[in-house]
Structure 1
Amino acid sequence: MDFILKSISYVLHPLIMPLLGVLFYFSKTPRFIPDPIQHAKIFSTVLLTIILPLLVYYLLRTLNKVESIYLKSTNERKLPLLINSVIISLIITRVFTSNEIVELYYFFVGILASTLACFALAIFKVKASIHMLAASGFFMFAVALGIHFKININGTIALMMILLGAIATSRLHLKAHTYPELIIGSLTGLIPQLLLLKWWL
């Protein structure tokens, strides 16, 4: 059980959630989007939301700015969150612009808002669960897409609720967060996506 709960934190790391959102969108959208464009967007997402942040992390670790990939203290969270905000801004302006795929544009705007909110919380020494932030943001986006495209995603919703519970259990088991930190993280990820719905839903 200990191995399983630790594995959940690795497998469902916040870095993969933006990619899951993009893959989910392309798998559910009724719009025709040529395969080369989809592949290019997915590749750009992997490069900018997974590979680049990992390279930045190893650089920061080499410079002794962070101790682990989980960013356990609020102080070591500030710089990575700020850098990630710049990366997400680049995605919004170069990869998913408002005049191309509006749903994914606002999905990443929501991610940017959540990241900046988490950065602001870190400044005030408030630690929010980034795992829950990322997962709950994706969950809200998936629910909104189901409504937007009028498709049945009950299976996805059920699976996501199980995964949210698994992530929360994993973080508590590892003593990485307290209950309030999990709740704060969930709300920080969910609320921006919810507020942005009026612009595209």
Structure 2
Amino acid sequence: MQKSISYIFHPIFMPLVGVLFYFSKSPRFIPLAVIQTKLVSLSILTLILPILAVILLKTLGRVNSIELTKTRERIIPLMIFCCILLIVIKRVITPYDFIELYYFFVGILASTISCLILNILNFKSSIHLMAISGVCMFFIGLSIHFSINILGSIALIIFIMGAVATSRLSLKAHNYPEILIGCATGLIPQLILIPNWL
């Protein structure tokens, strides 16, 4: 059960979760063709490409497991994901079209760079908590920005955060400081960037 929670709410899915939630709640008219194009592009860049990169690294012997359990194993995948995020904010999600999503991805980039620095310093913060806490803060920002009541969604994601944290602790994948630092690295960049689009 604990392992299932870690897989279902894997960090790799969180950017798409934020984007899907944005498109489902945004009150402005966005053509369906535009939504589909963005979702396909983001699926390839933030989901398929990182999976292929980790599989390639495992084949080359640079990582022992796709779960990236060791601190040093995370450095190259995080660097690759930083490069992917730069492509996203330069080519796919621009501030002129979707300013909320643009800063959401800038926040993800800042969180990923923070996590990368911590890993270089040999501290394994929780990427699971980093990802889901960032999405949670984005949800809160959207609620204020669009003046919509999404308390149910926010409560649900907070509950999921708790379940993921419990799962990571039960699997002994992280300890309490790693969970807390992971949560902070996800929340703080989004919180700092929110004033840019509210």
TM-score range, shorter chain: over 0.9
Corresponding residue of 2:75: 78
What's 2:133 paired with? 136
* TM-score normalised over the length of structure 2: 0.99
Q: Does 1:44 align with 2:41?
A: yes
Partner of 2:175: 178
Task: Return structure 1 stretches of 4+ with deviation > 6 angstroms.
Answer: none
- Secondary structure of 1:196's counterpart equals helix
Once residues 67 and 162 of structure 2 are traced to their aligned partners in structure 1, the CA distance between those partners, rounded to angstroms, is 19
Name the structure 1 match of 2:86: 89
1:82-116, CA deviations, whole angstroms, 9 ceiling, x for partnerless residues? 00000000000011011110000000000000000
CA distance in 2, matches of 1:198, 1:143: 12
1:58 has 2:50 as partner: no
**What TM-score does the superposition give when structure 1 sets the normalisation length?**
0.97
- Report Cα offsets for 1:43-78 as digits up to 9, x if no partner: 111111110000001000001111222211111111
What is the percent sequence identity of the aligned residues? 57
In the alignment, the residues of structure 2 paired with residue 160 and residue 69 of structure 1 have an alpha-carbon distance, to the nearest angstrom, of 25
Amino acid at match of 2:112: T
Superposition map of 1:1-201 within 5 A = 4-201=1-198
Q: C-alpha distance in 2, partners of 1:5/1:71?
A: 17
Gaps of 5+ in 1: none
CA distance in 2, matches of 1:153, 1:68: 38
Structure 1 residue identity aligned to 2:58: R
Distance 2:164 2:67 in 1: 13
Measured against aligned partners, the alpha-carbon deviations of 1:121-159 in whole angstroms (never above 9, x if no partner) come to 011111100000000000000110000000001100110
- What CA RMSD, in Å, does the superposition of the two structures yield over aligned residues? 0.6
Corresponding letter in the other structure for 2:143: G
Number of paired residues?
198
Runs (5+) with no aligned partner, structure 2: none
